[in-house]
Amino acid sequence: MKSIYHKFKINFLCYFIFLSFLLTGYIKNILFIFLIIVVHELGHILFLKRYGYTILKVELFPFGGMTTSEKYLNSPINQDIWIYSGGILFQLILGLFFAFLFHKGFIYSSTYQLFTYYNLGILLFNLLPIKPLDGGEIFFLLFQKVCSFSKSITISLFSSLFFLILFLFYMIQSNLNQYIVLSFLIYKLLDFYKKRNYYQNKFYLERFLYLFPYKKIEHHNMIDLKVLKKETLHFFKKENKYVHEKEILKQRFDK
């Protein structure tokens, strides 16, 4: 874990927000926010390392963080849910630790209330079903339990847009910091939309190159790669016989 330290990167927005807090005297506030964000990302890192993935970068924002790894798009759904839930679990543990400190008299009531305010706020924010927040990623994974990867991308885009609009109306009278958060969410959702075909092709390419564990098998009378699901092995009817999905993918990539 000692090499993880060098993977951390502080986004330039953090310096702007942190400076505004420091100049107005809210030093304890910014320390709590920074502590919560780091602990949250450590939760993701722990589960990523638990499942053997290499951490590429951990970028810290004033409202959260983003951990980038070499995780496959075809990795097991429940495993991915644990990874995205890791930050939430670590925040809950941190909350219990501060509750212990308060009840033992190690910290004042005002300090505990201030910490709880930020911890709960960041926790609820990350649970919003908007990509790339943890809630949005978990929603995306739950869709993949019942839908194809292609359909899950479409559903996730529309559901994220719907909840983003609701969040926008809720935050209509926001301050500058909250407008920065909204701008970030809009930017990331647009980026996901622009890269949807890239993710789709990456999903196909992984299935062509590697072997993944499957829980069920499906047979199709027509060749259509858009029906491919995570954790499902597909066979397609071709010339009156069913062929393995890799045979179809080979025609797409082995050129």
User: Could you tell me the CA-to-CA distances from 1 to 46, 52, 85 in Å, in that order?
Assistant: 9, 12, 20
Q: For the chain, where are the E strands, in sequence order? A: 8-10, 55-61, 64-69, 216-220, 232-238, 241-244
Unique residue bearing structure tokens 């005002």: 110
130 with 189: CB under 8 angstroms? yes
Q: Which letter does DSSP use for residue 226 in this model? A: G
| Per annotation, catalytic residue among 41, 59, 206, 218 | 41
Is 41 among the catalytic positions? yes
CA angle, residues 24, 27, 29, in degrees to nearest 5 = 100
Q: CB of 66 within 8 A of CB of 48?
A: no
Residues identified as active-site: 41
